Amino acid sequence: MVTQVTSRRLCPLHRPAGVVTRVQYFPGLADAFVVAAGRRSGAAGRRVGDSDLATAPLVCQVYIRATIAAAIVGCVAAYLIEGIGGRRDAAGALVLVVASVLNVEIARYLEGRQRVAQRPHKALSAWAFACVLLLPPAWLIVVVPACYAHTWWRGLRPPLWKWVGSAAFLVLAGLAAELTLGVAHPGQRFSSSSDPRQAVVLLVSQGVFLAVEGGLFFLVSRLNHAADEQWLKETLARPSFYATEAGMLAIGSLTALVWVLAPWFLFLLLPAFGLLQQAALHEPMRTLARTDAKTGLLRYEPWRHDTAYEVEQLMNHSRPWAVAFVDLDNFKQYNDTYGHLAGDEALGAVAEILRSGLRADDTVSRFGGEEFAVFLPDADAATAHKVAERLRLDIAHRTGLPGRLTASVGVAAVEAGQQVELAVALVTADRALYDAKAAGRDQTVSAALRAQDVEAPVG
């Protein structure tokens, strides 16, 4: 005898007659959304992300409130259409919350039980998507807040409006995925059968979930203050993030299927939670290895590696580029006068000036101590000197820090068609920096490349 086990979400049960379609924010993206909490903006000295919603731009305030309202209205509408089911659905909701708790605790163990804002992926989206598969959609308004509340309690402490907004984004993504499932299978639900079409529909709904979720976060990254969402923008630009998120949704799908087929075997997924968290730790650890802790800029070696590749591409297309060294003047004296904590704050402020004063494709790293390295693609000698001089003046005119702080800048430019190794250009810029120091500091000097350092023009 073959017994087919079914559930509310995976089988054609409990649908009101005549209802054709069903109306049923992300720890990875939520982490990115809230990571700025506690990060200090160097230029103004304020703590970015510590503020409440009232300090965000008006359009961002309206957007967040609208998404929260839409999530609530959507779940209420789903309740009026379909209700919340019976005891098995309540048990399923409890299982999902417990799975989220276990996953968060595993993550805390792997990362050393730290209480910090920037955290590895907590897989909150996995349980929202599993809720879409298993339960009537109204349960989203219960499962998602419960998972978020536990994660908040266990150490992820962003501004509350970001946390609530993130949860609303997840609920809306779940409702969109639920609607997709209803359109694909009008009048019925999935079952535990082996119909391959169900796998296709499942993949499509996962894609819809991820697209809606990513789109909602993309909008808030553009509507909120730029300095408050820098990390979110960087996260959204990384393909590896979406691969990890797809893995999270797959775990949610597997959890739902195991609950339908053999609930007592859910404990077999615990090792998978651990492996997934290990994988999720890779990107934060990689970012940590590439980033200078005091300034938030790239470390020099990753910057040099990335720049060498960009330089090769530029020279292959006969395009100009330049490098510069920015060195704070008499910084040891500044530290001795105002203390090392003030010195660290000054480094952060200068890093923010460099970051905000450069062009979109320029990159900057902390070379070491009080020195910074800058790469300027598609910049000829005149453009490079102009950018460098603007940075020097911005540093000299900065406010919010004690004492006078200036910088000397050395620039080396490679013209279009020239073939010059990055190391040679860096040595030339360093020589220009030495000349700026020798000439009295607080000035920008550009040094010409030596003839023997330049290969024959391309083409």
Domain ranges of the chain: 27-290, 298-453
Q: What is the dihedral of CA 387, 388, 389, 391, to 10 degrees?
A: 90
Q: How many CB atoms lie within 10 A of CB 214?
A: 18
Identity of the residue numbered 457:
P
Instruction: Identify the pLDDT of residue 39.
Output: 40
Model pLDDT, residue 280: 64
CA 135 to chain centre: 30
* 217 close to 232: Cβ distance less than 8 angstroms: yes
pLDDT at 10: 40
Cβ count within 10 A of residue 383: 15
Quote the CA–CA distance of 450 and 428 in Å, as a whole number.
9
The predicted pLDDT at position 346 comes to 92
Write phi, then psi, for 363 (nearest 5 degrees). -130, 155
Residue 307's identity, in one-letter code, is: T
Tell me the pLDDT of the chain (459 aa) as tens digits: 333 333 333 433 233 333 333 222 334 554 444 444 434 333 333 343 445 788 888 999 999 999 999 999 999 999 998 888 888 889 889 988 988 888 788 777 766 654 444 444 457 888 899 899 888 999 999 999 998 988 888 777 778 888 899 999 999 999 999 998 877 665 455 555 566 777 788 888 999 999 999 999 999 988 988 767 777 777 788 787 788 788 888 888 888 888 878 777 877 777 777 776 666 666 666 777 788 888 889 999 999 999 999 999 999 999 999 999 999 999 999 999 999 899 999 999 999 999 888 988 999 999 989 999 999 999 999 999 999 999 999 999 987 888 889 999 999 999 998 899 999 999 999 999 999 999 999 999 999 887 766 775 544
Helix-strand-coil percent breakdown of the chain, rounded to 5?
60, 10, 30
- The answer to whether 79 and 142 are in contact (CB under 8 A) is no
Instruction: Give the C-alpha separation, 177 to 175, whole Å.
Output: 5
Amino acid at 399: T
CATH of 298-453, picked from 3.90.870.10, 3.30.70.270, 3.40.640.10, 3.40.50.300, is: 3.30.70.270
Radius of gyration of the chain from Cα atoms? 27
Total residue count of the chain as it appears in this document: 459
Structure tokens at 111: 């990362």
- Phi, psi of 200, rounded to the nearest 5 degrees: -65, -45
CA dihedral 10, 13, 14, 19 (to 10 degrees): 90
What integer pLDDT is reported at residue 161 of this predicted model?
A: 87
